C-alpha cells in the first residue's frame, strides 16, 4: 500500500476512534440540525407543492450549518496538546492528512444526512415527483463539495484567534455555486420539474476543481506558522 493510502487510512481510523469515544461532533451536529428542522417546520406552514419548492434550500442550509460544527471539531482535536506538530515533524505526506480529514467529515455529514433526510420528508410531507435516484448523486457530490472546502478552510483558520467565526466567513461565499447547484437539483427532483442533470454535472465539476486546488495548496497551509 502506498504511504499516501496507508497514512490516510490510519489517520481516518484514528479520527473515527476519537469521535466514537468523545462523540463531540456527531452529537452537536444532530442536535443542531434537529433544532433547525423543528424550528423551520413551526415557522413555515407550506402546502405540499410549496414544500417541494423550498425544501431543497432548507435541507441544504441546515446541513451546511451543521457541517461547520463538525469541521471546527476536526481540527480542534489536533490543536489539543499540539498534536499537529508531531504530524508536521514526520515524513508523512500533507495530503494524507487532508484526505483523511475530508473523508472523516464526509462520513460524519453523510451519517447526519441519513438520519435527518427522512425526518425532513416526514415534517414537510415530501415525496419526489421526479427521478428519486438522482437525489443520491446530488447528496454525495453536494456533501463532498461542503466538506472538501470546509476541511481546507477550517485548517486555514486554525491558527486565527476567532476561528469559529472565520470558518463560515471563508466557507460560505466560496460554497455559493455548490449550494445553488444542490438546492436547484434537489428542487427539480422533488418538484418533478425536468432533469437535474445540468446541476449534477456542475456539482461534479465544482468538486473536481476544488478538490484539486485544496490538495495542491494544503501542504502550504499545514507548514504555515
Partner 1 sequence: MSAPEIPAAASIITVSNLIKQFGRFVALRGVTAQFAAGKLYVILGDNGAGKTTFLRALAGLAQPTRGEVSILGKNPREACRDVGYMAHPSLLYDELSGLENLRYFARLYDIAGDGRCEQVIRLVRLDPELTRPVGQYSQGMRQRMSLARAILHDPGILFLDEPFSNVDVRSAREMVELLTAMRDAGKTIFVVTHQASLLESVADEFVWMQAGQIVDRTPGLSPSPSRAGTE
4 near partner 1, judged by CB under 8 A: no
Exposure string over 72-93, b if 16+ CB within 10 A, otherwise e: bbbbebbeeeeebeeeeeeebb
Stretch that binds partner 1, among 47-55, 90-98, 142-150, 203-211 (CB under 8 A): 90-98
Burial class from Cβ neighbours inside 10 Å (0-12, 13-18, 19+) for residue 165 reads exposed
Q: How far apart are CA 98 and CA 106, in angstroms?
A: 12
Please give the backbone phi and psi of residue 160, each rounded to the nearest 5 degrees, phi first: -85, 155
SS3 225: coil
* C-alpha to C-alpha distance for 120 and 33, rounded to whole angstroms: 10
Could you give the CA distance from residue 205 to residue 123 in angstroms, rounded to a whole number? Answer: 33
Of 16, 57, 88, 121, the one binding partner 1 (CB under 8 A) is 88
Interacting span for partner 1 (CB under 8 A) from 34-42, 77-85, 154-162, 186-194? 77-85
Q: Which x/- pattern over 91-130 shows residues binding partner 1 (rule: CB under 8 A)? A: xx--------------------------------------
Separation between Cα atoms, residue 202 and residue 206, nearest integer Å: 6
Q: Give the footprint of partner 1 on residues 48-67 (CB under 8 A).
A: none
What would the x/- binding string for partner 1 be over residues 172 to 191, using CB under 8 A? --------------------
> For residues 18 and 115, which CB has a smaller minimum distance to partner 1 in the complex?
18
Residue 27 as a binder of partner 1 (CB under 8 A): the answer is no
81 binds partner 1 (CB under 8 A): yes
216-to-78, 116, 210, 212, 222 alpha-carbon distances in Å: 21, 34, 10, 6, 12
61/151 Cα distance (integer angstroms): 17
Candidate ranges 31-39, 40-48, 82-90, 108-116; the one touching partner 1 (CB under 8 A): 82-90
Q: Is 6 in the site for partner 1 (CB under 8 A)?
A: yes
In Å, what is the CA distance from 76 to each residue of 79, 86, 133, 156, 210? Answer: 5, 15, 36, 12, 23
Stretch that binds partner 1, among 3-11, 171-179, 198-206, 208-216 (CB under 8 A): 3-11
Residue of 45, 47, 80, 162 that binds partner 1 (CB under 8 A):
80
Number of chain positions touching partner 1 (CB under 8 A): 25
> Which residues of this protein are in contact with partner 1, per CB under 8 A?
3, 6-7, 10-11, 14, 17-18, 21-22, 77, 80-83, 85-92, 223, 225
Amino acid at each position: 500500500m502506498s504511504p499516501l493510502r496507508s497514512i490516510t487510512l490510519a489517520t481516518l481510523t484514528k479520527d473515527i476512534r476519537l469521535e466514537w469515544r468523545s462523540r463531540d461532533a456527531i452529537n452537536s451536529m444532530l442536535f443542531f440540525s434537529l433544532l433547525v428542522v423543528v424550528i423551520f417546520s413551526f415557522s413555515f406552514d407550506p402546502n405540499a407543492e410549496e414544500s417541494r419548492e423550498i425544501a431543497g434550500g432548507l435541507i441544504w442550509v441546515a446541513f451546511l450549518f451543521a457541517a461547520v460544527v463538525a469541521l471546527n471539531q476536526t481540527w480542534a482535536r489536533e490543536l489539543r496538546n499540539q498534536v499537529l506538530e508531531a504530524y508536521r515533524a514526520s515524513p508523512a505526506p500533507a495530503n494524507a492528512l487532508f484526505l483523511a480529514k475530508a473523508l472523516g467529515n464526509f462520513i460524519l455529514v453523510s451519517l447526519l444526512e441519513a438520519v435527518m433526510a427522512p425526518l425532513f420528508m416526514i415534517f414537510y410531507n415530501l415525496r419526489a415527483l421526479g427521478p428519486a435516484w438522482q437525489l443520491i448523486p446530488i447528496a454525495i457530490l453536494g456533501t463532498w463539495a461542503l466538506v472538501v472546502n470546509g476541511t481546507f478552510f477550517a485548517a486555514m483558520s486554525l491558527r486565527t484567534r476567532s476561528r469559529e467565526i472565520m470558518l463560515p466567513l471563508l466557507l460560505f461565499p466560496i460554497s455559493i455555486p455548490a449550494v445553488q447547484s444542490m438546492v436547484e437539483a434537489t428542487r427539480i427532483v422533488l418538484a418533478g420539474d425536468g432533469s437535474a442533470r445540468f446541476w449534477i454535472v456542475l456539482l461534479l465539476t465544482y468538486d473536481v476543481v476544488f478538490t484539486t486546488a485544496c490538495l495542491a495548496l494544503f501542504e502550504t497551509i499545514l507548514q504555515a506558522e
